[in-house]
Structure 1
């Protein structure tokens, strides 16, 4: 594939704007259209960049020269949009979580395989410089055998459709398990076989879903993992949240603070401090890796199966919460 032509399905998730900017910064790819049921949400960017707009995503998929799509719709629509794209013979990169049930994620993967198109899960945290260096150190054996990983993905409550279970499929436990769970899967190279979780609504009154989560996992190679997935950061916090890990091995430990490359900025206009990240853009490198895979005809570097593995842990977490005990794969 010489110069892939890419479209975007939905800007419901704010990551879509960053992914678009990454695509526009890559001379080896061409963005040929955007579809969103809410035209006002994308009108400014379609006008600024001269991009074609489609109200119905099927009209975008009907474009013969379209090679691939980036899907950033509400979680509940990921399966529909991915399956339709695959049946239209378009490669897919889909926002996390890949889906809201194991059955639909398996169907997404199977449909893409049947139509011989790539399905990549959007896990940009794999491209954070600190995470890359930590994974390389583990692979070299710098800290011996990994024994345990403690992680956090604590953020501010996102509001909008994220807190509507009918559109999101869950709350903080689903929203913030999948990123760091994927990193744990990647770093250990092992499979989770036991999940024990806690979830509740503690920080925001009358929220229709959980805003607090703590998930514990046991891998089939004996490694333990624990992850704080809460929406516990207040509006006054300088940034949306964090991604951290403490990787403990037999010969040492690695501490990862993914967004530590920052400038502290204090604004009279907003009345609070801000963290301004100055490190490499994880979104840019993720999108670039997807485009490179298409051009070179290689498999997507983060597969649909990767997305399924991490989302399945979150879904089992909710099952554990209901039962009040560990559940097993």
Structure 2
């Protein structure tokens, strides 16, 4: 009897091990397969680390700069077989679920032009495009070929931002929004040690569309469009400064952008001149306000009462699980922070901001 029980236990142990192994294999098979377009954006380290942690499968990388290719091969122990000279050649030999763009913002359109006709989704690093004309072309291609084109922001995955939107819009904790303030920036890309390859186009007025006004102005425009449930502001007024012309001779390094809504105002403060890195958001309602100080710390004030809010983990902590669920049909991205709808408005706001600063007047949308 004991012998039979031992055999049964052994059999169950083996079967359990088999199913665990099978489950792991199935899980691995369902990892998102992505192509990487460009290595010049320093945010590409995010996808490399996700790959190293076996959270995603990289089927190919496109980069022409051999020095850059060799650096990434060495740092992340990547095989030669992963690298391609062009995106077209990558897509001929591999079948990614999506392509992630880590190149200059002005090159996002070309990535979509190659991928969309092949039915391949694209996720670009913020912002979507340098001009509204390019953004409209991207939207046209996405609609024509029925593909997702999403934009990735670091602040999308902040637990505080997700919870703040829930408290303000879903639960109406402080009443209608009256004012929003977003601070975004750091000491400057050169000062914090961004790579020369990144700096080369980040400080180019054509390839990046501007300096701090685009690099960090996009965060506020993205968050405010989301909080205002996809509304386009009535008008945009901006002041752009060139505080460090010796460091950044070709682009601005500080911007203040004011967005006018029917019953609310948004103030975006974007800078390469902060004393430290900052990405925070304040939202004022009729009855009080919330302040998301960073990704995990939030406070609330109502008249004379102050409260530290317990921040809960957001459903998505980074872009890869979110992108996988969008492509699997589990999530409809319409009007969320990554959506095409939202980011078309973001580009429109940023273009209006640049025009406002140049012409010295309020720009109606």
Please classify the TM superposition score into its range, dividing by the shorter chain length: 0.7 to 0.9
Q: Counterpart of 1:314?
A: 350
**Contact 1:22/1:283, CA 8 A, preserved across alignment:** no
SS at match of 1:70: strand
More relative contact order, 1 or 2 (CA 8 Å, 6+ apart): 1
* Counterpart-to-counterpart distance in 2, 1:180 and 1:288: 24
Task: Name which of 254, 270, 286 aligns with 1:250.
Answer: 286
**Contact 2:155/2:295, CA 8 A, preserved across alignment:** no
**Contact 2:187/2:273, CA 8 A, preserved across alignment:** yes
SS at match of 2:93: coil
* Counterpart-to-counterpart distance in 2, 1:135 and 1:23: 31
* Counterpart-to-counterpart distance in 1, 2:128 and 2:172: 31
* Counterpart-to-counterpart distance in 2, 1:45 and 1:284: 25
Q: TM-score, normalised by structure 2?
A: 0.77
1:203 aligns with 2:241: no
* Counterpart-to-counterpart distance in 2, 1:136 and 1:155: 28
Cα distance 1:23–1:93, how it changes in 2: closer, same or farther (>3 A)?
A: farther
Cα distance 1:281–1:298, how it changes in 2: closer, same or farther (>3 A)?
A: closer
**Contact 2:135/2:347, CA 8 A, preserved across alignment:** no
1:43 aligns with 2:66: no
**Contact 1:23/1:287, CA 8 A, preserved across alignment:** no
SS at match of 1:31: strand
- Structure 1, residues 171-214: CA drift from partner, whole Å, max 9, x if none? 11111111121111111213211100000201343621111100
* Counterpart-to-counterpart distance in 2, 1:156 and 1:209: 15
Cα distance 1:152–1:231, how it changes in 2: closer, same or farther (>3 A)?
A: same
Give RMSD over aligned pairs: 2.5
**Contact 1:124/1:283, CA 8 A, preserved across alignment:** no
Q: Counterpart of 1:153?
A: 184
* Counterpart-to-counterpart distance in 2, 1:164 and 1:288: 32
* Counterpart-to-counterpart distance in 2, 1:247 and 1:67: 37
Equivalent runs, 1:162-177 vs 2, <5 Å = 162-177=202-217
Equivalenced residues, count: 305
Q: TM-score, normalised by structure 1?
A: 0.85
**Contact 2:210/2:251, CA 8 A, preserved across alignment:** yes
SS at match of 1:131: helix
Deviation at 1:111, TM superposition (A): 0.6
